[in-house]
Amino acid sequence: MEHYLTSVQKCCTLLKVFINGNKEWGVTDLSKELQWSKGAVHKMLSTLESEGFIKQNPQTKLYSLGYTLLELGNKVKHDDDWVSFSRSYLQQLAELTKESVCLCIRDHRDAIYVDKLDSPLPIRFIIDAYRRFPLYATSASRVILAFSPEEMWDAALEEPITAFTEQSLTDLSEIRSRLELIRSRGYEISSNMRNVGVTGIAAPIYQADGSVNASISLIGPSDRMEPNVDRWLSALLQMTKEMSRLVGYK
């Protein structure tokens, strides 16, 4: 089936421009960005505005995302089974470690932190949650990828690899052997791959059928993480083992 609704696809394309782009756009700018006629852009924007998906600044006439999307995004989070299931575990882990913790899930060929708790300490890593990023990028997402079928490895590594830091893995064979390492030891610990001076510890949640679509991760400043790696890792593994059992994994 390939008969999608054209104008709905275009509507989604337009909204997505706002995710990684500017927070405000003019009609002409969007027209250039999307290669649509000004008339088409304007008609799309005013339709979306009438629905609360877009708002227009009365002074500057520029458009930005509307509050109905805030409602929808909040509903996604509150309806999510992984989020409601994991909340108390995240709190427990945050309490114990005083570091930032998060729940990572896979959505198609991307990863997203769908829930998080930031460390209460003055020096802390603030997790940039609710945003899509590549599966190979962080310890939490690499754990998910490692335990996914090989087709997923291919899909995730198909697009050009982004290096987030100097120490990011960029070579395909390097990434693949890293994934094999994760698969064999059952967890991931990495430093400086997504953010310099930051260490992440991540473990997978196994589902009833043995597949993995979610992971729990602990992220903090490397110098504070390193002395505690063994303690935090065993606490994390114990927790994810228990969580896996509860969702039916044997």
Partner DNA sequence: AAACAGTGTTCACTATATGTGAACGAATTA
Partner DNA sequence: TAATTCGTTCACATATAGTGAACACTGTTT
Indicate the helix (H) or strand (E) that contains 206.
Answer: strand 198-206
Q: Which does 36 bind (CB under 5 to 8 A by kind): a second copy, DNA, none?
A: DNA
Nearest residue (CB) to DNA, 23 versus 122: 23
Residue 103 site contact among a second copy, DNA, none (CB < 5 to 8 Å, cut-off depends on kind): none
Verify binding: residue 61, a second copy, rule CB under 8 A: no
Q: Which of 185, 190, 200 shows the shortest CA–CA distance to 101? A: 200
Q: How far is the CB of 12 from a second copy (least distance, A)?
A: 4
User: What is the Cα–Cα distance from 203 to 215, expressed in whole angstroms?
Assistant: 6
**90 closest CA partner among 54, 129, 32, 132:** 129
Which residues are within 8 A (CB) of 60 and not within 5 positions of it... i.e. 6 or more apart?
24
Stretch that binds a second copy, among 8-16, 137-145, 187-195, 241-249 (CB under 8 A): 8-16
Answer with the entry of DNA, a second copy, none that 45 interacts with (C-beta below 5 to 8 A by kind).
DNA
Interface contacts to DNA, rule CB under 7 A = 1, 3-8, 10, 26-29, 36-40, 42-46, 56, 61-62
> Which stretch, 26-34, 126-134, 171-179, 222-230, contacts a second copy (CB under 8 A)?
126-134
Q: Is the CB of 62 or the CB of 152 nearer to DNA? A: 62
Q: Residue 14 burial (CB < 10 Å; 0-12/13-18/19+)?
A: buried
User: Could you say which of a second copy, DNA, none residue 169 binds, taking C-beta under 5 to 8 angstroms by partner kind?
Assistant: none
| Closest CB to a second copy among residues 132, 185 | 132
Q: Which is nearer to a second copy, 116 or 178 (CB)?
A: 116
**Token match 């829930």: residue?**
115
Quote the least distance from Cβ 40 to DNA, whole Å.
4
Q: Which does 71 bind (CB under 5 to 8 A by kind): DNA, a second copy, none?
A: a second copy
Question: Considering only residues 94-113, where is the footprint of a second copy by CB under 8 A?
Answer: 105, 107-108, 112
Chain-centre distance for alpha carbon 159: 17
Handedness of CA 133, 137, 141, 146 (dihedral sign): positive
CA 169 to each of CA 110, 179, 212: distance values in angstroms, whole numbers, following the listed order: 17, 11, 22
The residues with which 54 forms a beta bridge, in sequence order, are: 65
- Work out whether 1 is an interface residue with a second copy (CB under 8 A): yes
Query: Is residue 148 a contact partner of residue 157, using CB atoms and an 8 Å limit?
Result: no
200, β-bridge pairs = 190, 219
